[in-house]
Amino acid sequence: MDKTYIEQNNVIERYALDKLTGDELEQFELYLLDHPELLTDIALSEAIAEALPQDLLANPSAPTTSANHAGWRSFSLAASVLIVALSAVSLNLYQDNASLRDSADRSLSVAAIQSQIIIETTRSLDTNPITIDAAAGPTLLSIEVPDDFAGQELAIKISSVEGALNWRSGALQLNSRYRLETVFDGLPAGRYSLEFISAAESTRILDFLIDIR
Amino acid sequence: MDASLTNLPPQDLVSKIAARNAEAEQEFARRYLAPLTKILSKRCKSREQAEDAAQTALITVLQRLRGGKIDDPSKLTAFVHKTGINVLIGDQRKISRRETGTDTELVERTVDERIDQLEDIIREESDLAVREVVQEIKNDRDRELIYRFYIRQEEKFVICSALELTAVHFDRVISRARGRLRSLIETKRPELIGLF
């Protein structure tokens, strides 16, 4: 690892946000030991993340409620290097109306959405299961996936461990933002398995557990 | 301390410590304690635990260096890193800091003030300074970039795709925000300059 790689890959910021893993983390740590001057840049990046106003975006499509990043949870898939961040939040989160209109389920209006689960891509590692708060009513499930999934149709399957729920979306197409979206009914407390399935081959690409409390 | 020690390559630092050069030992502690503490604190999320582990690790390495027991002096940094990680995960719990009191004092005395000073300054100044940085970002798309990266913690390629930005533009905005924050804080607290 060298200065150019660090700059071009935003390594300092990603380290500050705890998003480095594996070899990249180790290589940066070794670099940091020999270049302690980076401690100041790391501290500055951490300060930005901590002190950044939550109402940074002040337009109608922007978030107006708290989206404390500490509440976001993540984990990875070794094969397709996905990371998941989940948050039960109100309808005013970052998700804009345009992307909701693009979602697979058009029968529910924006106002009907009570919560959402957001799944982001990254190359990180974390643990199962993920715990989120229960939310009544419809939930927007928004998944951002790497562009190497472009052109594929994926389905999402949610099932409770006790067998009380077995829900599967129709084939979902990635939109221009590399995002899959669908809406399902609120999940009562319990443990659930969330699976992503290739619609064409019915093969499971990723699965993980969620604890709804 | 001998200023020439500051930029001494690891292998030369190893040689001097093996020859019982006290200033080289101080330079060793000064060089590695702050970054190693940071590295371990990111891994264990506890500053106190990280400080203890870093000090224990450096004392362990120092003792090995004094005994000339480092196989490859050019890999001193990797050895420090590995020892720090091992101590943190408990592989070397048998090491007693009580048995190495003098060394512990050396390590603690050398660097902790700089770490505390850095964090104190940034903590005291960052709230106002970050708001000032944000206010200076006039472009809505750049503000959204900052928001999505730091608060939503989205990946770079996702943000660039969604906002139709180039990677170069992304890097410039992120880098400029950090640089501006540093500039604002350094103006108010010049002691930050050259701290590390």
Least confident of A129-138, B14-23, B68-77: A129-138
- pLDDT, position A1: 86
**Mean pLDDT in residue range A202-207:** 70
- Mutation choice for A interface testing from B27, B38, B127, B183 by most A CBs within 10 A: B38
Contacts of B115 in chain A (CB under 8 A): 39
Tell me the sheet residues that pair with A166. A159
| Nearest to A196, CA basis, from A74, A82, A101, A104 | A82
| Nearest to B56, CA basis, from B79, B87, B34, B22 | B87
- Mutation choice for B interface testing from A10, A37, A40 by most B CBs within 10 A: A40
Note the pLDDT tens digit of each residue in A101-153: 333 333 333 334 445 565 554 333 344 566 767 666 666 666 666 666 667 77
Cα–Cα distances (Å) from A28 to A96, A153, B77, B81, in that order, read: 36, 37, 12, 11
- pLDDT, position A201: 62
- pLDDT, position A91: 23
Least confident of A31-40, A91-100, B70-79: A91-100
Cβ within 8 Å, pair A39-B39: no
Cβ within 8 Å, pair A56-B161: no
- pLDDT, position B179: 93
Q: Does A132 or B76 have the greater pLDDT score? A: B76
Q: What is the ipTM of this complex?
A: 0.86
Cβ within 8 Å, pair B177-A120: no
| DSSP assigned state of B4 | G
Cβ within 8 Å, pair B42-A56: no
Side chain identity, residue B12: D
Interface check for B22 against chain A (CB to CB < 8 A): the answer is: no
